[in-house]
Amino acid sequence: MRLVHHSDGETRTLAENVSRREDHRTLAENVEEAEGPLAQALGVMFRRSLPEGYALVFPFDEPASRTIHTLFVFVALDVLWMVDDEVTKVERLRPFRGLAHGLADTVVELPAGAAEGVEPGDTVEMEG
């Protein structure tokens, strides 16, 4: 599974993506889903590093205010809050000191710098 960013906010079919590769960028090819309350509570806490191309996705049943903190997180994170694959907020959080919230039915944690260029209104999709 991978995470793909469409900078213009448009979702495209696979055929359209093949012919318009310049319109999208892969954010992560190693995507893990945090399923269940324990996995979602832990997130990336206690991990000393995150590999390049990694993302942790938190799927929820419906949009609501979602809070992310970096207590016991040893690395800086780029966090995306999304509703129906549309980015509603992007935030870089520092280790041990970050706290932010946003409206989302999906939250994505990436290594700091991985979400460079992603802005609210853009589309980020899981493929594969």
What is the pLDDT, as a whole number, of residue 67?
95
The pLDDT, as a whole number, for residue 41 is: 86
Q: What's the predicted TM-score (pTM) here? A: 0.86
The Cα-based distances of 102 to 98, 99, 107 in angstroms read 14, 11, 9
With a pLDDT cut of 70, the percent of the chain lying above it is 88
39 pLDDT band (50/70/90 cuts)? confident
Distance separating alpha carbons of residues 19 and 65, to the nearest angstrom: 37
Encoding tokens for residue 86? 């549309």
User: Is 46 or 23 the better-scoring residue by pLDDT?
Assistant: 46
- State the residue range of the domain holding 9: 2-127
| Residues sharing a CB contact under 8 Å with residue 37, sequence separation 6 or more, in sequence order | none
pLDDT in tens, 97-106: 989 999 999 9
User: Number of folded domains in the chain?
Assistant: 1
Lowest pLDDT segment from 13-17, 28-32, 96-100, 121-125? 13-17
Q: What is the CATH number of the domain that holds 80?
A: 2.60.120.1140
